[in-house]
Chains A and B, each alone.
Chain A
Amino acid sequence: MALSLSGVILPKLIQQRAFSVSSAVAAVQKLTRVRVVDNSALGNAHHHRPPKVIHVYTKNGIGKVGDRVLLAIKGQKKKALIVGHKMPGARMTPRFDSNNVVLIEENGNPTGTRIKAPIPTHLRKMEGEYSKLLAIAQRFV
Chain B
Amino acid sequence: MAAACTSRTRQMMGLLRILRNFSQNERLLSTSVLRHNVASDGPPKFTPPSKPVIIDKTQKEASLRRFLSPEFIPPRQRTNPVKFSIERKDMIQRRKVLNIPEFYAGSILAVTMTDPHVNGNMNRFVGICIQRSGKGLGATFILRNVVDGQGVEICYELYSPRMRKIEVLKLEKRLDDNLMYLRDALPEYSTFNFDMQPVHYEITGDVPVNLLKVKMRPKPWSKRWERPKFNIKGIRFDLCLTPEMMEHAQKWAEPWRPYDMLKEYDTSSLEDHIFKEVQENLRK
Contact = CB atoms under 8 A, between A and B. Distances in A.
A94 B154 contact: yes
A95 B153 contact: yes
Interface string A92-115: 111111101000000000000000
Contact of A91 (B147, B155, B222): B155
Contact of B218 (A15, A97, A116): A15
A5 to B, nearest CB: 13
A122 B123 CA distance: 11
B150 A96 contact: yes
Query: Majority SS of interface residues in chain A?
Result: loop
A9 to B, nearest CB: 12
Contacts of B152: 94-97, 118, 141
A61 interface: no
Given A14-B242, A97-B183, A118 B150 contact: yes
B150 A100 contact: yes
B156 interface: yes
B183 A93 contact: no
B216 to A, nearest CB: 11
Contacts of B156: 91-92
A91 B219 CA distance: 29
A21 B117 CA distance: 34
Contact of B162 (A1, A92, A96, A121): A92
B240 interface: yes
Contact of A14 (B125, B162, B240): B240
A78 interface: no
A57 to B, nearest CB: 23
Given A91-B157, A121-B117, A121-B118, A17 B151 contact: no
A117 interface: yes
B153 A17 contact: no
Interface residues of A, number: 32
Contacts of B117: 121-125
Contact of B148 (A1, A13, A139): A139
A23 B222 contact: yes
Contacts of B157: 91-92
A98 B150 CA distance: 8
B25 interface: no
B118 A117 contact: no
B151 A139 contact: no
Nearest to A119: B150
A100 B152 CA distance: 12
Contacts of A91: 140, 155-157, 160
B142 to A, nearest CB: 9
Contact of B219 (A16, A123, A140): A16
Interface in B120-170: 123, 125, 140, 147-157, 160, 162
Contacts of A84: 150
Interface string B33-69: 0000000000000000000000000000000000000
A122 B157 CA distance: 17
Contact of B154 (A13, A93, A97): A93
A16 B219 CA distance: 6
A128 to B, nearest CB: 14
Given A100-B150, A139-B147, A121 B218 contact: no
B113 to A, nearest CB: 6
Contacts of B162: 92
Interface string A12-35: 011111001101000000000000
14 contacts: A1-B220, A13-B242, A14-B219, A21-B222, A91-B156, A94-B152, A97-B151, A97-B153, A97-B183, A98-B150, A98-B151, A116-B148, A118-B150, A140-B118
Interface of B: 113, 115, 117-118, 123, 125, 140, 147-157, 160, 162, 183, 218-220, 222, 240-242
Q: Which are the 9 A-B pairs with shortest beta-carbon distances? A: A97-B151, A124-B117, A121-B117, A117-B150, A95-B153, A118-B147, A94-B152, A94-B154, A21-B220
